[in-house]
Chains A and B, each alone.
Chain A
Amino acid sequence: MQKINSNHLLKVDGLSVSFVTRNGIARAVEDISFTVDRGKTTAIIGESGSGKSVSCYSLLGLIPTPPGKIDSGSAIFDGQDLLRLSDERLRSIRGRRISMIFQDPMTCLNPFMTIGKQLAEPLICHQRLRRGQARDLSIELLREVGIREPEVTIDCFPHEFSGGMRQRVMIAMALINEPELLIADEPTTALDVTIQAQMLSLITELQNKRDLGVIFISHDLSVVSDFADDVIVMQKGRIVESGDRSSILGSPTHPYTKKLLSAIPRGGKAVSSVRGDDPLVQVKNLNTWFSSARYRTPIRAVSNVSFSILPGEVVGLVGESGSGKSTLGRSIVQLIKPTSGSVKFADLELTKLSNSSMKHQRRFMQIIFQDPFASLNPRMTVFDTLAEPMHLHKIVENKDVTSAVFKIMNDVGLTRSSVRKYPHEFSGGQRQRIAIGRALAVRPKFIVADEPVSALDVTIQSQVLTLIQELIDEYGLTMLFISHDLSVIRKISDRILIMHKGSIVEEGSSSKIFEHPENDYTRALIDAIPGRKLQVS
């Protein structure tokens, strides 16, 4: 077979993949064509289920067949059609000339092997190096992906690394055989914004140094907007639009691309909803410490935090994972008992309330959790979930509960017909609507929203965010909105608190935080927002 076009590192033409299921044939990918060049990045964008991962996995023979089946198409890599290679030939390419980075760095490393052993394995197996050589090379590579003191850390186990470090190790593993093409499947989705920014610049840097071709799969257009050369937008297994970055981002033609672009949260809150000057929630010198058997000193998850929230105000709380922001939210609504300090809710000192009077107060304050898959009881229907708090606090008379449930369902955008369904029958966005409905069922005054949109796809995220904004107005809610994503926070909040290592490092109106950040950490957070070019435009 002759080389068709030496410029293209990979040329995929007319690829179609289908899965045979009980309900017939599902066409996961239909007639996909794209190219990847050396030293360039092709980004594939789409929401979950759009076929973006399947199309790349099928190139490497990584989809199970059956039920998967490659119906047609070709994928020319270095003059060979990947789709028609024998398993053995494909194995020599996979992991060696084409390698992958996966989404979740926690599950992709073997917890029982040291980093060094896992890195050396492909070297010994593919390049037939001796152990000593493999180790030296591994150390060199770890240094290249930005791991400090690689001579020491090479003998650590994966659990001793943070999420970002693990993802660096994953990248090192992917690069160890000096591949020509790197497929990155949502490599930063599980990471914090600041670490995400570091990861993206690392990938770009390595790419320039090694002349790598990169396929970057993501659901988030803003993530790739800074560095992708070509962008492919996929929906329901088809490419709806493709082109170079500036044309896709600057003048999108397909409505779906426009929808994706408009889903990126930008700008601030239009009208302030603050009513009155007497704070509804007042937190003073709040400390929440956890004692642990491993460390002698307690972990100070929240340390000496003070702030207040006015009635009708939406306060955004930003910080990366481990900064204590969720603990703070839970401490305020007394799901975690604070170690010391005071939380006043409408002049009532919550920390001193007895259990039974606190249960009574829960009517007025609710919490929405991050993961709608975990926060709903899998064995309760929507009706039971929404009716339970109403019955408990006698919000409406028993005979009116059903109509009250329908009212809530209507408010959060669920159809009446789904009232008898169980959580697993809903998508992530719909589940989050149920969870929001449950929080609203008692008609609370104050809600702690703990990363309510972080687990959702971008387009769904923007719908749920809009819903929350509408509900704030309709129900006259006061809210503490917790997120790691500054652009989401900016869109919804009147005021922003920045949290770092258990303390609040900066506080101010959202325009002040964004335009004149004072703290270094705040500045780092703002710089890490992906798609800053989009924000400005």
Chain B
Amino acid sequence: MTEQEDLEINDIASGSSLSKDAWIRLRKNRPALGGLIILTAFFAIALFTPWIAPYGYEVQDLNLGATGPSQDHWLGTDIFGRDLLTQIMYGGRISLSVGFLATIVALFIGVTWGSIAGFVGGRIDSVMMRLVDILYALPFMIFIILLMVVFGRNMLLLFLAIGAVEWLTMARIMRGQVQNLRQQEFVEAAVAIGLSRSVILVRHIIPNAIGPIIVYTTLTIPSVMLLEAFLSFLGLGIQPPETSWGLLIAYGAETMEEYPWLLLFPGFFLAVTLFSLNFLGDGLRDALDVRGAKD
């Protein structure tokens, strides 16, 4: 055996093939990689905002009023004379964390709940899914408003509240996928090997069910961001002087005719985030689908 082959063999034996192959594929997908880079950059900026923002978020110069982009204020200022770039940076902290954290909460609960219901089946499945139906039937705005009223306004609660609503659809999608996969022969083959049910679920079923979930996740993140804007608009989410992209857009829309940049710039950042997410989501789905065209 040559040294080259030896190296290859060591390479083969280490790590799960699927995730490694998926990463190699993702790297070749230009739009997805671009999306990933942009999102990473946004996260980095959000993380370091307090140190790199040109102004403090509470700094306002009422004399200045709303002005267009200038040397001192690259993206202009709002009617209170606050720097828009600073606001977008601080807003991004909130929007990105709400969007991603709430979605991760939803993803985690939904995938676990749905795959257990679908895999175990029978009475447990019925009970679990009826619970989902009941939660579906609750008007969720009232649910969130109730939570906010009882526990007060709290960022963490906001994540949980939105996540707790969004997981329902995830659970349903996952259950359908798992139910379908459970009857496949390769699952039976895994039982025949002697694998335990949890290993079968994690290693054989979930990787095959993940495609639609990824796509749905990338759709959920933006909708969660907009939901946060809506809640904030109602006075249940973020309150000034804190801000988020959703809020900035909402206020910007009010003064669209006089000060269009107040709508355009926050809108631009939200749009770029959404595009990046979509490209990344499509790329991830394709990367995980080993049946896709082999290059």
Contact = CB atoms under 8 A, between A and B. Distances in A.
Interface in A334-362: 335, 358-362
B12 A375 contact: no
A449 interface: no
> Which DSSP category, helix, strand, loop or mixed, fits chain B's interface?
helix
Interface stretch (A102-110, A205-213, A313-321, A417-425): A417-425
B189 A401 contact: no
A361 B192 CA distance: 10
Contact of B189 (A360, A375, A381, A419): A375
Interface residues of A, number: 40
B186 A374 contact: yes
Interface in B182-237: 184-186, 188-196, 203-204, 207-208
Given A369-B185, A378-B208, A379-B18, A401 B192 contact: no
A369 B188 contact: yes
Contact of B193 (A369, A371, A392): A392
Given A379-B18, A420-B12, A360 B194 contact: yes
A333 interface: yes
Given A375-B185, A425-B294, A401 B13 contact: yes
Contacts of B193: 362, 366, 388-389, 392, 438, 442
A290 B184 CA distance: 19
A100 B188 CA distance: 38
A359 B192 CA distance: 8
Contact of B192 (A333, A377, A393): A333
Contact of B185 (A359, A361, A371, A406): A371
Interface in B250-295: 288, 290-291, 294
A371 B196 CA distance: 23
A376 B10 CA distance: 24
A402 B9 contact: yes
Given A362-B192, A384-B17, A422 B185 contact: no
Contacts of B191: 335
B87 to A, nearest CB: 44
A453 interface: no
Nearest to B292: A424
Contacts of A384: 16-18
> Which DSSP category, helix, strand, loop or mixed, fits chain A's interface?
helix
Contacts of B190: 377
A380 interface: yes
A419 B17 CA distance: 11
A380 B21 CA distance: 11
Contact of A438 (B13, B18, B189): B189
Contact of A335 (B184, B186, B192, B204): B192
A424 B291 CA distance: 6
Interface string B1-30: 000000001101100111001000000000
A374 B10 CA distance: 30
A425 B288 CA distance: 15
B99 to A, nearest CB: 28
Contacts of B290: 378-379, 422, 424
6 contacts: A360-B194, A362-B194, A379-B290, A380-B18, A384-B18, A442-B193
Given A379-B288, A381-B17, 18 more contacts: A335-B188, A363-B194, A367-B189, A367-B192, A375-B185, A377-B204, A378-B208, A378-B290, A379-B208, A380-B204, A383-B12, A383-B13, A387-B13, A389-B193, A389-B194, A422-B291, A425-B294, A438-B193
Interface of B: 9-10, 12-13, 16-18, 21, 184-186, 188-196, 203-204, 207-208, 288, 290-291, 294
Interface of A: 330, 333, 335, 358-363, 366-367, 369, 371, 374-381, 383-384, 387-389, 392-393, 401-403, 406, 419-420, 422, 424-425, 435, 438, 442
